[in-house]
Amino acid sequence: MKAWLGAAVLAVAAGGAAAQSQWRVQAVPVIPPAVFVSMQTNHWNAPRATEFAAQAGEVQRSLANHCVGGAAELARGAWRRTLAAWSRLSSVAVGPLVTRRSARRIDFQPVRPALIEQALKAAGDGAPEMDRIGSAARGFAALEWLLWPQSRLARGPDAAAACRLAQALAADLLAEADALAAGFTPLDAEALDEAEVVERMGEVINQWVGGIDALRMQAIERPLLEALARRTSRPVLPRALSGASAEDRASRWAALRALLVFDGPVAPQPGTALVPVETVLRGRGLNPLADRVVAGAKAVDRALAAARKNTPATLRAAGAALASLRNLVEAEVAPVLEVRIGFSDADGD
C-alpha cells in the first residue's frame, strides 16, 4: 500500500482524462488509494446522501397531502423514489451508515405486521412517540404496510391513526436522511494520512463485498430457502406488498455496479468524479483482471434482468451470478488492492 501513497496523490492529477473504453490505445492514469477513497466519498456517498434527504422530504409532503384527500399513488410514487435513493446510498454501507446503524433504524427486514399494528393502536390516542416504536415497526417497511395493498390512510376507522403514524414515520425517516447527508463530509485526498487511507480503502472494498452478499442473501437466497421450507412455489420477497422487489434489486445492483465498473466513454479527471474499481485496476495495468470484472458485472446485468419475473429459476441464476462476481472480487481484486476481506457490516443474521 505504501507504494501507492505520498507523491502519487499529486502525480495522478497530471495524467489527464483517459478514454476508458480505449484503454488499449490510451493509457489510464494510476489512481492511488487516497484519491480513490476521496472520490468515492465526494462523488458518490455525499451526493447520494443529499439525494436521499431530498426524496425523504418528498415522502413527508406527499403523505401529508394524501391524509387530506390527495391521491394514494402520489404517496406511493414518493415512497418508491425514496426507496431507490436509499438503496443507492446504503448498498455499500460506509461511514455514518455504519456508525448510525441506519439500516436497522429505517429499513428493518422482514416486516413485522403485528408490531406495526401495535404502533397503529398507540397512534389512536395521538401522535405516537417514536422512542416507543421499535425498529421493526419503523421506516420503509412500516410505510409500505400502511400504503399497500389498500392505503390505510384514506378510509376506514383507523385512517386518522394511520395518518398520524405515517407522518411520524416519515418525519423519523427524514431526520435520519438529514443526519446522513450531514455525516458524509468532503474528503481531501492530500490530507489523509497513510493509516486513514488503509482503513478507508479496506472499508470500501469490504463493504462492497458485504453489499453484494446482502443483495444476494436478503433479496434472493433467503426467500428461496423459506419458500422451499414452506413448500410454496413463489418466494416471499422483500418489498412484496408494493410489488417493488425487482425494482429494489435493480437499484441496489446499480449502486454496486457503479462502484465497480466504468460505463462512460472517457474516464474522468482524477478528483472530479467517481472512479470505480475497474479504472483502478486498468491504471495499474491489470487489464485482464479488469476485463473479467466487467464480464462478471455484465453476467449479473443479464441475470437480474431475467429475474424480474421473480420465478425461482431466474432468481437462483441471479444469485449464482452475484456469488460468482463476489468471489472474483474477494479472491483476486482485493489482494491486488492490498485489502484483506473480513467481516463486514452486512454480516450477521
What confidence score (pLDDT) does residue 288 get? 94
What confidence score (pLDDT) does residue 5 get? 39
Residue 293 falls inside a structural domain: yes
What confidence score (pLDDT) does residue 89 get? 98
What confidence score (pLDDT) does residue 52 get? 98
Find the domain containing 117 and state its range.
2-12+19-186+193-336
What confidence score (pLDDT) does residue 110 get? 82
Residue 349 falls inside a structural domain: no
Here the contacts of 187-193 (C-beta below 8 Å, separation 24 or greater) are 187/37, 187/38, 187/41, 187/42, 188/38, 189/9, 189/32, 189/34, 189/35, 189/37, 189/38, 189/39, 189/271, 190/9, 190/10, 190/34, 192/34, 192/37, 192/38
What confidence score (pLDDT) does residue 19 get? 35
Domain tally for the chain?
1
What confidence score (pLDDT) does residue 130 get? 77
What confidence score (pLDDT) does residue 333 get? 98
What confidence score (pLDDT) does residue 177 get? 98
pLDDT per residue rounded down to tens, the chain (349 residues): 444 433 333 333 333 333 355 556 456 778 889 999 999 999 999 999 999 999 999 999 999 999 999 999 999 999 999 999 999 999 999 999 999 999 999 999 888 899 999 999 888 877 777 778 888 899 999 999 999 999 999 877 899 999 999 999 999 999 999 999 999 999 998 899 999 999 999 999 999 999 999 999 999 999 999 998 888 878 889 999 999 999 999 999 999 999 999 987 777 777 788 989 999 999 899 999 999 999 999 999 999 999 999 999 999 999 999 999 999 999 999 999 999 998 644 444 3
Residue 91 falls inside a structural domain: yes
Nearest CA to 279 among 309, 250, 296, 259? Answer: 259
Residue 36 falls inside a structural domain: yes
What confidence score (pLDDT) does residue 13 get? 35
C-alpha separations of 34 from 43, 141, 200, 258 in Å: 14, 37, 9, 19
Grid coordinates representing 192? 489523509
What confidence score (pLDDT) does residue 3 get? 45
What confidence score (pLDDT) does residue 263 get? 85
Length of the chain: 349
Residue 348 falls inside a structural domain: no
What confidence score (pLDDT) does residue 96 get? 97
The CATH code of the domain that includes 297 is 1.20.1420.20
Nearest CA to 344 among 202, 198, 196? Answer: 202
What confidence score (pLDDT) does residue 349 get? 36
Residue 27 falls inside a structural domain: yes
Residue 347 falls inside a structural domain: no
